[in-house]
Structure 1
């Protein structure tokens, strides 16, 4: 079992992949800019970057 399986049927639709990537990136920016929490900001930005890597670059066509 992978942490984020890009070949799961749930991620077949492009909008699901985009939401999975953009929501953590957005929340990481919120943590940095508005809430002043760099620890959580880094965690959420890393989660969004990992999701982008897995869902757009490592995914089989």
Structure 2
């Protein structure tokens, strides 16, 4: 079981993937402005991980080209 599965039907619409990334990175900014460095690092890392998994990983590039991504990663 993957913690973040980009193949899940919930993430099929692009706007949902963009919203998840924007929410995580936006919340990181809120935490920075509030002075909570630890939470800012945590939510920023989560946002960057989502960005990679949804848009930058090799499997995401294969999905964008319409190929079937392999389940190995």
| Same fold flag (TM > 0.5) | yes
Following the alignment from structure 1 to structure 2, what is the Cα–Cα distance between the partners of residues 38 and 46? Answer: 12
Following the alignment from structure 1 to structure 2, what is the Cα–Cα distance between the partners of residues 56 and 8? Answer: 15
Partner of 1:31: 31
5+ long unaligned stretches in structure 1: none
How many residues are aligned here? 60
Tell me which structure has the larger Cα radius of gyration.
2
Q: Taking CA–CA contacts closer than 8 Å with sequence separation of 6 or more, which of the two structures ends up with the larger relative contact order?
A: 1
SS in 1 for 2:40: helix
Partner of 1:22: 22
TM-score where L is the length of structure 1: 0.91
TM-score where L is the length of structure 2: 0.77
CA positional deviation for 1:31: 0.3
5+ long unaligned stretches in structure 2: 64-73
Following the alignment from structure 1 to structure 2, what is the Cα–Cα distance between the partners of residues 57 and 3? Answer: 17
Q: Which stretches of structure 1, 4 residues or more, deviate above 2 A after TM superposition? A: none
- Across the aligned residues of Structure 1 and Structure 2, the Cα RMSD in angstroms comes to 0.9
